[in-house]
Amino acid sequence: MENMQYAEELVREFLVFRGFTNTLQTFDSELSTDIGKGFQVDRIMELIFSVYVPKFQADKLVGLFSFFKLCLSSSSETVLLATLSKLEVSILRYYVVNAIQSGRRDKVLEFFGMNGNDLLQRDKDWTAWFAIPYVKKPNSDPEFRIYFSKEWYEALRLSVRNFFSEIFNEKTTVNRLKKDIKQLNLKLSELQALLEEKDGELCQLRSNCSSVADASTEQTRSSSSVVHEQNRLISKDTQETCPPDTFQIEEAEVDPDWVVAGNMGSRPEFNISKSDPYLSSQSSPRVRDGGTADSIQLFEDGTYNENGRESHVEDFPEVKVDFQETFLGHTSPITRCRFSASGNNIASASEDGTVRIWTYDSSTPSSRNATIYCGAKIMSLDWECKSDRLLLIGTADGGIKAWNVDAKRVVCDLSTSEEFPSILDIKCSPVEPIFVTAAASKGYGSSYADNMGFASLTVWNMKTWKAMTVLPLGKDPPAITSLSFNHNGKILAAAATDGMIHMFDMSACLQITGWPAHDSAISSILFGPDETSIFSLGVDGKVFEWSLQNQGQILWSRNCSRFCDPESSKNCRHEMALDANGRRLLVTSGSVRAPIYQVRGHANGLRTLPHSAAITTVDWHPTLPIFLTGSADNSVRVTSLS
């Protein structure tokens, strides 16, 4: 509405500047009526069928449609533009028919003289119409008879009305949605600012608690040293005044609660008892409230484990963001999101069986945007590696779909055997026109990994869309959860629920090596940037970088178990993604933020900006420092690092 008011002011300024006072009065008069309150389809219909056509104003009629085409040329819906072109052809033919019926064949000749060349260049079907001024009874001619019928005229009017109603209503809806999105983004920014404020307060409280604990520990040590010195002096005095082997003073056990309470002002009491001279004066660590003196295990990423419960020693710093876009087109939790080979398009999938193809950059054409309904939960996505033309989709009911983004249709719909209904992962070869699916049979466990049974690895041909072979895994192999090709597609890595990594030679379709990498199931696997190493992520949250030159050697590791908590692992398969340089590793998270680790670096890492629920899927742009995070809050975010 603000833009419309601005446009009206520009029109007024132009009319005043040119001295078109009568036009200005008419303009203001019409604005005061309902005409000025929105798009008026009836007025456009009246202009076409009651003014331009009956009064033989062909130039204005052509100009009107040129204006509409210009308006729609910036639209992402190419279908609307094509429909408008078809309607234009029909209306221009109605103009010719009306001129013939009115006995104005001269207007027909004038029309073809002005627009004939342009019409022939756009549509060769106009060739026959150049003869209509010379046909004695065109209403009886088989070529033109249909255009003289009342039914065709009424159908044309209805089509024109429906078309303009559709585009104007759509424009109104789009404007309303843009306004709603703007308000929601503003509200989201306010909530994020509030969340950041609360995070800061929480960090301050942790810092204060840590300072108090350090002060208490220092005071306890100081108090203990004082007591120990007093005991030593008393013991010395006693030894000088008492006979040997008569009495011995035992060191008093200092109650930490008493020390912190500040009761050191009074002299502590000591327990004097008969004692064996050979009895050790050292006592075992004191444990209060029935606890045990457990050891504290320090992890490499700055967390410690006390009594099996992990705590934060130091919070990760937040990433510095250049820009962030949020996509809200899904209505259920996100299961997978992937950048295309060029990074221009994004595919995101949700639990309701919907895949959305979209773009985050306004300068990128959105003609490929689409919504794909698959009818089952989406388990895996992968783009064709050589172009952005094909998207492969794997579902929980054994379905494999290939979507052509240019044609906007499913070009292939395959199914695995009923024995292996879940397509856990799908990967395209970077070189050959083949792809591999990791399907799993039904398990009977409660966790995500235990709920998967045996594995089946199938190689498919993307030209014939038929299965080529099944890769050998042995008898009753555990489910394969993740796949990764090397740069030339000759080696395929596969991760299994028994913690094994399998390596296949794709030219021979045989397994060439494998090793036990985790004590638990592996949820994600990736080749390193130089392909001398491979990364694996276990459901226990442990990340390892394995050497491929010295099999079994760990080059780098991190423990992100506090992000891959058991509860979130029951419902989804955690995954990781490497940036284009292979220096930053992004991991999914059971919390609202995801960690970004510096590979082979000593820093703790970074944390992403928060979603409002767990982060279920991640991916990096193929060339830029931009990453994707999909969440259980139904949103997908594109974040560019500064």
Count up the domains in the chain and report the number: 2
Single out the residue of 338, 349, 224 nearest to residue 618, CA to CA: 338
pLDDT at 22: 85
Beta bridge partners of 371: 356
Sign of CA dihedral 166, 171, 172, 173: positive
Q: Amino acid identity, residue 279?
A: L
DSSP string, 341-363: SSSS-EEEEETTSEEEEE-S-TT
Q: How many CB atoms lie within 10 A of CB 505?
A: 14
Domain of 432, in residue numbers: 329-632
Q: What is the mean pLDDT of each run of 10 residues along the chain (642 residues)?
A: 65 80 80 57 86 90 84 66 87 92 90 88 86 88 88 89 77 68 78 78 75 60 54 48 41 36 37 35 35 36 37 67 92 95 94 93 80 93 92 94 92 89 94 95 69 90 94 93 95 95 95 94 93 93 93 90 66 86 93 92 83 95 96 95 90
Q: Residue 511 and residue 491: Cα distance in Å, rounded? A: 10
Domain boundary among 136, 171, 206: 171
- Tally helices (H) and strands (E) across the chain: 9, 33
Coil, strand or helix: which one is 503? Answer: strand
Single out the residue of 417, 448, 342, 416 nearest to residue 426, CA to CA: 416
In a domain, 570, yes or no: yes
pLDDT at 623: 93
pLDDT at 628: 97
Q: Which two tokens stand for residue 22?
A: 């009568």
Q: How many CB atoms lie within 10 A of CB 291?
A: 9
Q: Residue 130 and residue 117: Cα distance in Å, rounded? A: 11
pLDDT at 117: 87
Q: Residue 642 and residue 631: Cα distance in Å, rounded? A: 22
Q: Residue 480 and residue 500: Cα distance in Å, rounded? A: 9
In a domain, 281, yes or no: no
In a domain, 480, yes or no: yes
DSSP string, 401-415: EEEETTTTEEEEEEE
Q: Which two tokens stand for residue 357?
A: 């193809």
167-192 in b/e form (b: 16+ CB < 10 A) is: beeeeeeeeeeeeeeeeeeeeeeeee
pLDDT at 622: 94
Q: Amino acid identity, residue 437?
A: T
- Residue at token pair 């299965």: 467
In a domain, 118, yes or no: yes
Q: Residue 286 and residue 558: Cα distance in Å, rounded? A: 33
Single out the residue of 524, 522, 502 nearest to residue 514, CA to CA: 502
Q: Residue 511 and residue 472: Cα distance in Å, rounded? A: 7
In a domain, 311, yes or no: no
Domain boundary among 171, 190, 214: 171
Host H or E run for residue 535:
strand 533-538
Q: Are strands 452-461 and 434-442 parallel, antiparallel or unpaired?
A: antiparallel
In a domain, 251, yes or no: no
Whether pTM exceeds 0.85: no
Q: Which two tokens stand for residue 288?
A: 């209060």
In a domain, 86, yes or no: yes
In a domain, 195, yes or no: no
Beta bridge partners of 424: none
* CA max distance for the chain: 148
Q: Residue 109 and residue 88: Cα distance in Å, rounded? A: 19
- CATH code at position 580: 2.130.10.10
Q: Which two tokens stand for residue 241?
A: 């005044």
- With beta carbons less than 8 A apart as the criterion, state whether 119 and 96 touch: no
Domain boundary among 120, 137, 171: 171
